């Protein structure tokens, strides 16, 4: 079949891509699968080339069977799939990339302003780096991404409010601000305001604390927040329990929502899971769409680093990208920070990017203890003289319930994994995991016996 036309090969490969696109996360498909170029196939094998050296090992290790099955589904025959690194293809891709950049930003022509309204951009409090263009989409954040794009394209019409929740450093602030950037660029007539919940609280306190000027200042405060078209509030959980602030959020929400203005909120948990948050705010926050962002898989983390390297015009070896993506598994902010430290240090000190050098830069300790859910449960079970099966079971006896809550608390503290991930391990609902963690954390403030138990178990785990 080597003599078949290139058009036929491409036609077959496009059919294979259609199959793979439905099975593989968007970030992996776009970054590693789509750039593959089919070369030929015969009765025994199907050959594709890649211009990305690391794609060979990654695809062979993680997605080879899916690719083989996709080829089989199209050709009705099982063939060996050969993925070969092609240096010429790598050069061609790099050349195309430079050409696209030259067309996008001609050197001899003045650049167009990024925004039609500089004043609008400055007053919105947005960070220039948080845009849709550099947000890496994976299975962990696809719902939030699609919802954010829908809101950005038609603010106030659908998903209002949009409530995005997830652990720290997973991209909630990025995707929220990306909405603001898109609207400012495409709808400069709309007024966008991004604010953290902490800043909102401070504004309330300052407006209330100015004596004779209080009425005037409160009117000014309300005008600031209620005369916008798009209000973005980050870390909304921080208003919980602050009665006057909650009242202002409630009234601001009603004013904006009633006028068809868009509201976007982020939090580290769902509204019902925020302690002390009033029922009326919980109800309103749940009116629209709630979308969670989870910990990204390793391929998404690698795609994030590859994008950072591309945007920074820095060549980073594939083994370095894989190493960093493996070490920083649960927090994108930490992952990006490590990348910036490594590349800055290497540039300033003219140091080659090797694994050993990177380990030194990030203070990586190979002997550092790796904590697992199973290991933590085993130690807790041993301390309470029960079985690991008891802890993961459904018994509600006081002793087992306490052991279970301690195991959940230590799982969060030592592994830094997300509450949903811990819930999956213990086969418990996200809300149950969160309740157990918060309960132990609160009791530790006054319960010396519990504190002693957790210290003893932790010492055993950390040996």
Structure tokens at 430: 């996200």
Q: How many Cβ atoms sit within 10 Å of the Cβ of residue 429?
A: 12
Distance CA 164, CA 154 (A): 17
3-state helix, strand, coil in the chain (%, to 5): 60, 10, 30
Within 76-129, residue ranges assigned H as helices are: 87-104, 118-123
- Report the number of secondary-structure helices (H) and strands (E) in the chain: 22, 8
Torsion, CA 26, CA 30, CA 32, CA 34, rounded to 10: 120
Tell me whether residue 112 is exposed, middle or buried, using C-beta atoms within 10 angstroms of its C-beta: 0 to 12, 13 to 18, 19 or more. exposed
Question: Please, what sign has the CA dihedral across residues 178, 417, 330, 24?
Answer: negative
Structure tokens at 166: 């997830």
Distance CA 260, CA 231 (A): 12
Structure tokens at 424: 């999956």
- What is the distance of C-alpha 243 from the center of its chain? 31
Distance CA 276, CA 161 (A): 21
Q: Could you tell me the domains of the chain?
A: 6-91 (3.30.300.180), 122-293 (3.40.50.300), 298-361 (1.10.8), 373-461 (1.10.1750.10)
The residue ranges of the chain whose pLDDT is under 70 are: 1-7, 27, 93-124, 210-214, 366-370, 463
What is the bridge-based pairing of β-strands 230-234 and 80-85?
unpaired
Distance CA 320, CA 308 (A): 13
Q: pTM for the full model?
A: 0.60
Provide the pLDDT for residue 255.
95
Provide the pLDDT for residue 95.
64
Provide the pLDDT for residue 23.
81
Provide the pLDDT for residue 120.
56
Which tens digits make up the pLDDT trace of 6-48?
567 888 888 888 888 888 877 677 778 888 888 888 888 899 9
Nearest to 160 by CA among 288, 290, 261, 253: 288
């Amino acid at each position: 079949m080597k003599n078949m036309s290139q058009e036929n090969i491409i036609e077959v490969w496009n059919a294979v891509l259609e199959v793979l696109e439905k099975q593989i996360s968007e970030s992996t498909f776009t970054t590693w699968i789509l750039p593959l170029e089919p070369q030929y196939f015969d009765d025994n094998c199907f050959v594709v080339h890649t211009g990305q050296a690391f794609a060979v090992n990654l695809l062979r290790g993680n997605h080879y069977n899916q690719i083989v099955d996709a080829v089989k589904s199209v050709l009705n025959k099982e063939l060996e799939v050969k993925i070969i690194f092609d240096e010429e293809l790598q050069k061609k891709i790099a050349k195309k990339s430079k050409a696209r950049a030259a067309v996008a930003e001609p050197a001899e022509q003045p650049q167009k302003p990024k925004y039609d309204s500089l004043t609008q951009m400055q007053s919105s409090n947005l960070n220039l780096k948080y845009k849709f263009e550099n947000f890496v989409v994976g299975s962990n954040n696809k719902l939030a991404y699609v919802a954010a794009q829908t809101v950005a394209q038609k603010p106030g019409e659908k998903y209002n409010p949009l409530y995005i929740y997830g652990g720290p450093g997973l991209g909630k602030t990025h995707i929220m601000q990306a909405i603001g950037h898109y609207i400012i660029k495409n709808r400069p007539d709309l007024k966008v305001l991004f604010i953290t919940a902490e800043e909102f609280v401070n504004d309330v306190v300052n407006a209330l604390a100015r004596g004779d000027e209080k009425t005037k200042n409160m009117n000014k405060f309300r005008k600031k927040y209620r005369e916008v078209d798009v209000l973005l509030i980050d870390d909304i959980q921080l208003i919980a329990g602050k009665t006057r602030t909650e009242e202002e959020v409630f009234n601001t929400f009603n004013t904006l929502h009633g006028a068809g203005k868009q509201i976007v909120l982020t939090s580290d948990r769902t509204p019902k899971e925020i302690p002390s948050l009033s029922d009326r705010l919980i109800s309103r926050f749940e009116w629209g769409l709630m979308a969670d962002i989870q910990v990204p898989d390793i391929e998404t983390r690698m795609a994030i680093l590859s994008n950072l390297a591309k945007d920074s015009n820095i060549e980073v070896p594939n083994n370095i990208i894989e190493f960093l993506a493996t070490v920083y598994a649960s927090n994108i902010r930490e992952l990006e920070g490590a990348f910036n430290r490594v590349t800055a240090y290497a540039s300033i000190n003219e140091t080659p990017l090797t694994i050993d050098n990177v380990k030194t830069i990030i203070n990586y300790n190979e002997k550092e203890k790796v904590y697992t859910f199973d290991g933590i449960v085993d130690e807790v079970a041993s301390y309470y003289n029960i079985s690991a099966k008891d802890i993961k079971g459904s018994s509600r006896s006081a002793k087992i319930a306490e052991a279970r809550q301690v195991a959940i608390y230590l799982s969060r503290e030592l592994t830094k994994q997300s509450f949903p991930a811990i819930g999956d391990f213990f086969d418990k609902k996200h809300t149950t995991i969160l309740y157990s963690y918060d309960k132990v954390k609160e009791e530790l403030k006054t319960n010396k016996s519990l504190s002693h138990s957790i210290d003893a178990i932790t010492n055993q785990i950390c040996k």
